[in-house]
Structure 1
Amino acid sequence: MSRFAQTLMRTTQHLRGQTAKALRMQGADEPFRAPQTLLTFSSREDLQNYAIGCDTDIGGLSTAHLDLVEPTEKDNEQTRPYVKFWGEMRLGARKELEGKIRSGYAGFRSKRRRMLIGEITDDVSMHRFLALRLRAAGHPRTRNSYYVNIQTDGPVETDLWQHRLYFRREDGGWEDIYIPFDEFVLTNTGEVSQQQMTMFRERLRTIGISILGGNSGVEGPYELGIDSIRAVNEEDVPSDHARRERTVRRDAVGETRGMSIKCRAEKI
């Protein structure tokens, strides 16, 4: 299907959905607090909705792949297909560019959903947490080098909201991670912005995940399984889970605010 045909189909579907909401007078309902699925990763069609990139775009040596994985009988924690983001994290560069570029990153993000006029965005203003179901495999030293990235429909296209991903399990198993939207840090062109502001959650444009080996000098094979990404509220977060993660999140925010995030994730 051509890009124009995809845009036309997306526009038609969006207008049909908006018309249905108007006929149901959905805007007069109570604020919508139920979990909202933002990204799915269970089919080959889903894969077409993501862009992938790494430092090879500027002369680095890292690799990045995004593949659909069918669960096996041995995987008793996952019953549906999921996506595997994997590759090799390398800090070097092509010989002619050594010492001239900052390498050591890879990532993927959802593609922008453009229409004939404007684009489709997600409104998560009534939700407090970004919920991700993930499994961190690959070499253990790469598992704490992942960040989740959000781009909103703001005035500065290079603005990116980031938060580090911390995993509790060391066996590469599946786990649910909940990150408050108000703990994301605003960055621009790879640097933490001096002026922090509230995220414009009414219009989320793209969501992605990156691995930044260049920040911590980490190299090696990486692998991240992704099942789903949703927006949820307090009532959707298990109480014991919330208590365990409170300290981890606080440390993650402090570390993110105190470091330079050298990743041109907005270019992916």
Structure 2
Amino acid sequence: MSHLGQYLNRSAQVLRDNAARMLLMRGAEIPSRVPRTLFTFNSQEELNAFATGCDADIGGTSTVHLELDQNIAKDKDNNASIGGQATPTGVFWGDMRLGVKHGLEGRLRGGYAGFRNKKRSSLFGELTEDVSNHRYLALRLRLGGDPSTHNSYFCNIQTDGPISTDLWQHRLYFKRRDGTWEDIYIPFDNFVRTNSGEVSDAQIEMYREKIRSIGISLLGGNSGAAGRYELGIDSIGVTNDEFIEPTARGEPRRM
């Protein structure tokens, strides 16, 4: 799809969302609680909607890639846990390095890589997501790479709140270490407000009516973790308690 086509589609979505909000204000409809997919990672076009970055952008030495994993589409055993679909999935990978370029020692800390969805412009302003009727962020992921990197992944959310530099963050806790897919559910209430990489002293409720971006980062510099990292990603969505098994829900803990 062309950039113009995507722009017009986003504009139409804003119109539909605004019309739905007007109906809700009039009491004509009950807010839906059913699971909803926000992003999928099954085509190059879908991956093009995401931006990547790492410490190399400012003088570090890590690398970052967000690509289609064509081999996963051919691996029926690996894909069994996501319905066995014969489609590729995204893979976030690279080398996490703690060193920095010559001359920047002591002035810069290395050890960062991440991705997030790009700004989605439309005729009526920026497209955002209203997740206020859902309790959990749902991610379908596959953990790989060097074991030293497994405990340093974080999920990040930016809202259209009053302070644009605020970032809501939660560590990703994995149960599976065998290279297969798992669904991870994180309660929105468990995300922690951060600013400039530090946890904010004032913790306020996330503005869930307008989510601007969702992404994942690997913070090796915080934990001293270095090595080759790899994270398969199939989808990001939202859901509620009645649609997931109690044992699969995110634990009530923060970062």
TM-score past 0.5 threshold: yes
The answer to whether the 8 Å contact 2:65/2:93 transfers is: yes
Gaps of 5+ in 2: none
Aligned partners of 2:17 and 2:158: how far apart in 1?
A: 23
Which one of 234, 239, 247 corresponds to residue 240 of structure 1? Answer: 247
Match of 1:222 in 2: 229
The answer to whether the 8 Å contact 1:158/1:189 transfers is: yes
The answer to whether the 8 Å contact 1:7/1:116 transfers is: no
Amino acid in the other structure paired with 2:193? L
Q: Aligned pair in 2 of structure 1 residues 209, 34: CA closer, same or farther (>3 Å)?
A: same
Secondary structure of 1:97's counterpart equals coil
Identity value in percent: 54
Listed one character per residue, the Cα deviations across residues 151-175 of structure 1 (whole Å, up to 9, x for unaligned) are 0001111100000001111212111
The answer to whether the 8 Å contact 2:14/2:127 transfers is: no
Moved over 6 A (4+): none
The answer to whether the 8 Å contact 2:169/2:191 transfers is: yes
Match of 2:117 in 1: 110
Match of 1:73 in 2: 75
Match of 2:90 in 1: 83
Amino acid in the other structure paired with 1:72? K
Which one of 113, 130, 133 corresponds to residue 137 of structure 2? Answer: 130
Amino acid in the other structure paired with 1:180? P
In angstroms, what is the RMSD of aligned CA positions? 2.2
Alignment length (residue pairs) = 246
Match of 1:58 in 2: 58
Match of 1:261 in 2: none
Aligned partners of 1:233 and 1:54: how far apart in 2?
A: 33
Task: Give the CA deviation at 1:17.
Answer: 3.1
**How do residues 59-208 of structure 1 correspond to structure 2 at under 5 angstroms?**
59-70=59-70, 71-74=73-76, 75-77=78-80, 78=82, 79=85, 80-208=87-215
Q: Please, which moves more after superposition, 147-156 or 10-19? A: 10-19
Aligned partners of 1:190 and 1:197: how far apart in 2?
A: 17
Task: Give the CA deviation at 1:14.
Answer: 2.7
